Amino acid sequence: MNDFCLQTKGLNKVYHSVLKGDTVALKDINLDINKREFISIIGPSGCGKSTLLRILGCLDKPTSGEIIYQDGKEQEMGFVFQDSVLLPWKNVRENAGFPLVIKKDKTKESWDKLDDLLELSGLSDFKNSLPKELSGGMKQRVSIVRALSYDAPMLLMDEPFGALDAITRDHLNLELLKIWEMTKKTIIFVTHSIEEAVFLSDRVIVMSARPGQIKEIVEIDLERVRKESVRDTDKFQEYTKYLRGIIG
Amino acid sequence: MRTSKTREILRYVMDYAISISIFILIWSLYVNISGVPQFVLPKPTVVFKEFIGLFTTGMIWPHLGMTVFEVVIGFGIGVIGGIALGYLVAKIEVVKTALMPFIIFIQTAPKIALVPLFVVWFGIGLPSKIVLIVSMVIFPIMSGIILGIDSIPADARNLMRILKANKLQVFMHLEIKYSLPMLFSGLKIGIVQAVIGAIVAEWMSGKIGLGYILTYGNATYDTPLLMAGIIVTIILGIVSYESIELIGRKLLKWHVSQNIE
């Protein structure tokens, strides 16, 4: 059970600026993330949660400190961006399978699995649609399938549902849990919604701003498999109230 | 569906036909009433006869052929050069800093004013004409490519990094496709510039080309020939512009600017 997926030791990120002086975006971040864990990172805007995620995804370099991946530096990762960043000239299936093209994976197995994922996300009828014909929720579904298509053990998500309406968001939360339970991936999920964090996560990392550091890590002890009804339980309410209290 | 579409096209054609007919009618009436001499403004029928004559006698073909040849060669070199230069400027900061002052200088200088200089440098033959056309085409193409590459969302590049794509893959799968819409708006400006450049270059030197027909008509007070020549150049401009437009529409079906059928 206590298989670690990644560890960070004393991560710091400082932005140097001649005019405004240095800005400390992240200060002394120490994390232990287990395999198959669903972790949310939450905090006020400007607390560096997206920066932290980008550093974990090797899209940005820390100023100091280190990250240890269980599978080494070349660890495969999926990343879901705030905006779906679908390629506008590719249809849904081509977009979702784009990583397979880049990784030159032509096996029927992978493409069949891709079709299963599309089916699971309710995209089967839209395989040939272009991004401009899709709604925001649909686009984000495609981008999640894309991140899953090459079966990376780790999935990083940067406020993927931030731009969606509340109803679509709740719906996609449920779908994401379904996918997570089936694929058993490690998910690190950045959000600014407390309810979303509680509903999805095993643990919620609360960050504070200026400098961005970890304030508290809250274990969410709610039953798995979670259903929509879990939102109405007292325990769920207690967690959200508690988190709201520490975020302030 | 089919019939309504044909009807729509028919209506466009009708609108154009009516608009042009009214223009020709006013022109014709004016010439008849005011009695201006033919070398100032000929009747539409005279111009039309001259225009048809250009083709039936076959005298237009070598000139039209030459102009088309110059446009194709000049535009071709300009496009390739513009893409290469634009890509280097967009990707390599040093190239940008080094070249930008010259590029802005060349772009803002009225190229037509440079023609005599080109003639001094490259002679009165084909090379000076091609140089002028290339100088007029290269900038819109280049800025199209630069804009296109700059318009690639940062996260699309991040996606490529997450997927560990190599440079060639980024170029083939991301940069080319993303710059196509901007490139095509550059191409559309470029092709119009190319035709203008060819005509102006032919004014300056040589005894062949549509530009030469215009100066010849002008020098001999043969205004019907001059006007018929102008019409040929306009048609050449429209045809070349529409060809680029058509190719663009085929390649950019996915783009938001194109309506879904």
At the second CATH level, the architecture of B39-251 is Orthogonal Bundle (1.10)
Query: In this predicted model, what pLDDT tens digit does every residue of A127-156 receive, in sequence order?
Result: 999 999 999 999 999 999 999 999 888 999
What pLDDT is recorded for position A1?
46
Find all residues with CB under 8 Å of A26, minimum gap 6, and list them: A11, A12, A13, A48, A51, A52, A55, A62, A211, A212, A213
Decide if pLDDT at A228 tops 70. yes
Decide if pLDDT at A41 tops 70. yes
CA-to-CA distance for B192 and B139, rounded, in angstroms? 13
Please report the residues numbered 197 through 226 in chain A whose beta carbons come closer than 8 angstroms to any beta carbon of chain B.
none
Letter for the amino acid at A229? Answer: S
Answer whether A102 sits within 8 Å of B173, measured CB to CB: yes
Query: In this predicted model, what pLDDT tens digit does every residue of A59-85 receive, in sequence order?
Result: 999 999 999 888 777 788 999 999 999
Residue segments in chain B with a per-residue pLDDT below the cut of 70? 1-3, 258-261
Nearest 5°: the CA angle B72, B74, B79 is 90
Answer whether A85 sits within 8 Å of B153, measured CB to CB: yes
SS3 of A13-24: EEECCCCCCCEE
Q: Is B165 exposed, middle or buried (0-12, 13-18, 19+ CB in 10 A)?
A: buried
**Domain ranges (residues) in chain B:** 1-35, 39-251
CA-to-CA distance for B222 and B241, rounded, in angstroms? 29
* ipTM (interface predicted TM): 0.89
Distance from CA of B92 to the nearest CA of A (A): 21
Answer whether B260 sits within 8 Å of A133, measured CB to CB: yes
Query: In this predicted model, what pLDDT tens digit does every residue of B210-235 receive, in sequence order?
Result: 999 999 999 999 999 999 999 999 99
Q: Is A17 exposed, middle or buried (0-12, 13-18, 19+ CB in 10 A)?
A: exposed
Answer whether B173 sits within 8 Å of A101, measured CB to CB: yes
What pLDDT is recorded for position B247?
92
The percent of chain A in helix, strand and coil, each rounded to the nearest 5, is 40, 25, 35
B148 and A45 Cβ atoms separated by less than 8 Å: no
Distance from CA of B246 to the nearest CA of A (A): 18
Q: Angle of helix B176-204 relative to helix B111-122, nearest 10 degrees? A: 70
A78 touches chain B (CB under 8 A): yes
Answer whether B162 sits within 8 Å of A79, measured CB to CB: yes
* Long-range CB pairs of B118-126, under 8 A, 24+ apart, other chains included: B118/B201, B119/B204, B119/B205, B124/B204, B124/B205, B124/B206, B125/B205, B125/B206, B126/B70
Query: How many residue pairs from chains A and B have C-beta atoms closer than 8 A?
Result: 52
A155 touches chain B (CB under 8 A): no
Answer whether B177 sits within 8 Å of A83, measured CB to CB: no
What pLDDT is recorded for position B261?
41
User: Which residues of chain B have a CB within 8 Å of the CB of A79?
Assistant: 158-159, 162
Domains of chain A and any CATH numbers = 4-247 (3.40.50.300)
